Chains A and B, each alone.
Chain A
Amino acid sequence: MTNQQIAEDIVAKFGENSHSFEEPWGLLTLTTNRQNIISLLEYLKQHEIFRFNFLTDLTGIHLPDNKGAEFGVIYHLHSLENNVRIRIKVFLSQDDIHIPTAITIWPTANWMERETFDFFGILFDGHPNLIRILNIEEMDYFPMRKEYALEDATREDKIDALFGR
């Protein structure tokens, strides 16, 4: 079972709804949309050969320059039987930042989605308890978004003349 086979199978089933296939460091990566994400996850979990039965990780990313698709949700699945991993991405616009929850497939998605909501403000539709998990509840912003920049420890603003440059 190679990445090629998995990719071909997904394309045969989902067609244009799965795109941007990549293989960074041997890990099959693909992008889908939020209409198809749950059916894709379910399909991969129930597939009789692939059996991606383990949700390793679910997290978010903020790409403010990526207009129209500023937020990403990234799923890492693992097929324990075949020892193959796959990474699935869904990109969302910041004006409509909704994605269906994956709790129906894996209960473990519960806290992972709460964490993603807590830090990025991504709304998981159908989540039974979408509240903050690590930050205080009174917080009124989403700290991992790129507009909240930290002080630059690498000091790009230092005066070059003082350093002979």
Chain B
Amino acid sequence: MEDIIIPKNTSDALALNRPIVEDTEFTTLNLGPTHPATHGIFQNILKMDGEKIVSGEQTIGYIHRAFEKIAERRPFYQITTLTDRMNYCSSPINNMGWHMTVEKLLGVTVPKRAEYIRVIMMELARISDHIICNSILGVDTGAYSGFLYVFQEREKIYEIYEEMCGARLTTNMGRIGGMERDLSPTAIAKIKDLIYNSLPKAWAEFEKLFNRNRIFVDRIVNVGPITGERALEYGFTGPNLRAAGIDYDVRVMEPYSSYQDFEFDIPVGHNGDTYDRFMVRNQEVWESIKIIRQALENLPEGPFYANENHYYLPPKHDVYKNMEALIYHFKIVMGEIDAPSGEIYHAVEGGNGELGFYLVSDGGRAPYRLHFRRPSFIYYQAYPEMCKGVSISDAIVILSSLNVIAGELDA
């Protein structure tokens, strides 16, 4: 009697817990490579049964730029510009992660003040990363206004970047051995204005607009859930893993750059669905604000760079007057300084998760081998599994909440 009912589509099959019959007609849909909803250049070839997704096949690599190969011919300080272009929504984190990796190899101790400035910059970057992800999730569900509210705050963060390093998107911020310049009074004023006045106000408004909004919540609750176990098997890290209920954060597990000095909480979710990912990111913005406040209030006095002539560019006025400084300036700029040999893995908590640098140095001017552990590349492979059986509009929302950045995906 059981064999009489034959499922004809995915929802029937799910209801009956049986595989779909072979002769069902499927539609093939190309989501991407250039689709406004993918927010980056990557393709998903979806096999659709009506509105439901049966399976997906991913094609990536459209903006692959061979960073690992290029890095094998570049002096260490020139690789910073490559890291900018990975997760371009939070490039200072990539920059600082790379500087810290090299400093670990060289055995340089960075002064406390530089570490605190780095923490401030990294947390600002995390905020801007989460602003983009969460507000774009709103856009993808049809709520445009929240995006416009909070993008003004991101603009303010970019102004702080400009104040610190002159650039906005591809920042190339900091140097091996510290920061390239101290926090200027303007920068401090701008950061204070941001974290004490405008951002908390805007973010509270944003949360009010979304967190319990019936239309929005209906669209994202229980969409694309993933269990903690499965997320670990798929190599999830960062907010996406924490949304699944696993409190793994590199900042706490392996504190770098004085993160142990600050008090902050690690928000975790429960179901690992889109709503949890959204809420974890929301909460992380508050935690980042908390960290920046602590760092600003306890900002230590002292130098903002290590006294490491071989790697840190000497002050410009010395270069014109002082022979030693001129020599070091020349040697650093020409990349003529050999690094010690060694093998290092250093990880930082990027906007999307654990951003790792695996560096093998053979004692030359450039790395012998450099591998970037890119969080989006690793967790994006779970996407077909997460959107199996959901409708196309839900698939867009899942993709958006995973925060896959094409630059990081393809490196």
Contact = CB atoms under 8 A, between A and B. Distances in A.
Interface string B128-139: 000000000000
B334 interface: yes
Interface in B357-393: 358, 360, 365-366, 369, 371, 373, 377-382
Nearest to A83: B253
B75 interface: yes
Interface stretch (B3-11, B12-20, B231-239, B312-320): B231-239
B378 A144 contact: no
B381 A29 contact: no
Contacts of A57: 345, 356, 358, 371, 373
Interface stretch (A8-16, A36-44, A150-158): A150-158
Interface residues of A, number: 40
A49 interface: no
A119 B253 CA distance: 32
B165 interface: no
A35 B208 CA distance: 57
A7 B347 CA distance: 23
Given A151-B73, A153-B74, A108 B344 contact: no
Contact of B70 (A27, A76, A150): A150
A67 to B, nearest CB: 17
B334 A154 contact: yes
A29 B20 CA distance: 48
A6 interface: no
Contacts of A24: 342-344
A108 B345 contact: no
B235 A108 contact: yes
A136 B354 CA distance: 27
A143 B66 contact: yes
B378 A111 contact: yes
A108 B381 contact: yes
Given A59-B371, A134-B60, A76 B345 contact: yes
A62 B72 CA distance: 12
B342 to A, nearest CB: 6
Given A24-B344, A133-B60, A108 B234 contact: yes
Nearest to A114: B381
Interface in B54-69: 60-61, 64, 66, 68-69
Contacts of A134: 60-61, 64, 410-411
A63 B234 CA distance: 30
Interface residues of B, number: 46
A106 B68 contact: no
A54 B232 contact: yes
B270 to A, nearest CB: 18
A53 B232 contact: yes
B246 interface: yes
Contacts of A59: 358, 371
B104 interface: yes
Contact of B235 (A106, A143, A144, A155): A106
Contacts of B345: 27, 56-57, 76, 85, 87
Contacts of A27: 345
Contacts of A62: 369
Given A24-B343, A119-B68, A150-B69, A56 B253 contact: no
Contacts of A110: 381
B248 A80 contact: yes
Contacts of B379: 108
Interface in A13-36: 24-25, 27, 29
Nearest to A59: B371
Residue from B70, B78, B358, B371 with most neighbouring chain A CB atoms (10 Å): B371
Nearest to B379: A108
Nearest to A129: B57
A46 interface: no
Interface string B11-37: 000000000000000000000000000
A61 B360 contact: yes
B207 interface: no
A15 B254 CA distance: 31
Contacts of B382: 107
A56 B354 contact: yes
Interface string B337-359: 00000111101000000101010
A69 interface: no
B111 interface: no
14 contacts: A24-B343, A25-B342, A29-B343, A54-B235, A56-B345, A57-B356, A57-B371, A74-B358, A76-B373, A87-B345, A108-B235, A150-B72, A153-B74, A154-B366
Interface of A: 24-25, 27, 29, 53-57, 59, 61-62, 74, 76, 80, 83, 85, 87, 106-108, 110-112, 115, 119, 132-136, 143-144, 148, 150-155
Interface of B: 60-61, 64, 66, 68-70, 72-75, 78, 104, 232-235, 246, 248, 253-254, 334-336, 342-345, 347, 354, 356, 358, 360, 365-366, 369, 371, 373, 377-382, 410-411
Given A56-B356, A153-B75, A154-B74, 10 more contacts: A61-B369, A80-B246, A115-B377, A133-B61, A135-B64, A144-B69, A148-B69, A150-B70, A154-B73, A154-B75
